[in-house]
Amino acid sequence: MRAERAGMFETRIHGRGGQGVVTSAELLAVAAFREDRQAQAFPSFGSERTGAPVVSFCRIDDRVIRTREPITDPDAVIVVDPTLLHHVDVFGGLKAGGYVLINSSRAINELGIESLNETAPGVTLVTVPATELAREHLGRPLPNAALLGAFAALTGVVSVDSVAAAIRQRFSGETGEANVRAARAAAGFVAPSSGKAPQEETLNA
């Protein structure tokens, strides 16, 4: 299942200060700009305090985006830090048939989020070991680039190539290339050349 390109697509990103949550939204917006689309990215507050819960938002549309409100009914949710799953209402307002991408190496049935089925039926839920992929390709546990590659492969809202270009625009030299490798590895994890992603599940009512 992939998102339709028509209409506004709203993404909410949950993590902690220092995990690149705000940067993730900005990179996603740049990826959309590179596809000649409109985009808007902003955090829930002005700065990231290390370790504190952080929420960032990104809207993508083919038309001018006039709203400036926080995203309360997202089409997709990215959870950078899985420790937030039972402490913050990360799934609040998630639309039926939406997408959830969680940074975790654990199986979906080990996360204890079965109630999501009741509040947002038909959601496509994917877990990706983004932190492990970041360590492998960057040498540091910075999962945001990997998650963006996975997000692109999961939703089709932007292409993985546009995500890679946005990363290179933000990070120069080997740092940028290492982040691109992490993004492409995560994209391959979500959308392998054949078969269903190993940690993908569609929750039905």
180 domain residue, yes or no: yes
1 domain residue, yes or no: no
202 domain residue, yes or no: no
Split into its structural domains, the chain has a count of 1
Q: State residue 138 phi and psi, 5-degree precision.
A: -105, -25
Given a cut of 70, the residues of the chain with pLDDT beneath it are: 1-6, 45-49, 117-118, 192-205
Per DSSP bridges, beta strands 9-16 and 38-43 are: unpaired
pTM: 0.89
CA 86 to mean position of chain CA atoms: 19
Please tell me the distance from the alpha carbon of residue 185 to that of residue 86, in angstroms, as a whole number.
28
35 domain residue, yes or no: yes
Please tell me the distance from the alpha carbon of residue 72 to that of residue 57, in angstroms, as a whole number.
10
Which residue range is the domain that position 173 belongs to? 9-192
200 domain residue, yes or no: no
The amino acid at residue 205 is: A
CA-based angle 143:121:88, to the nearest 5?
A: 45
What's the pLDDT score for residue 202?
52
What's the pLDDT score for residue 166?
98
69 domain residue, yes or no: yes
Number of helical (H) and strand (E) elements in the chain, helices listed first: 6, 7
Domain of 124, CATH number, reads: 3.40.920.10
129 domain residue, yes or no: yes
Residues 75 and 99: beta-carbon distance below 8 Å? yes
Please tell me the distance from the alpha carbon of residue 60 to that of residue 5, in angstroms, as a whole number.
9
What's the pLDDT score for residue 200?
53
What's the pLDDT score for residue 48?
56
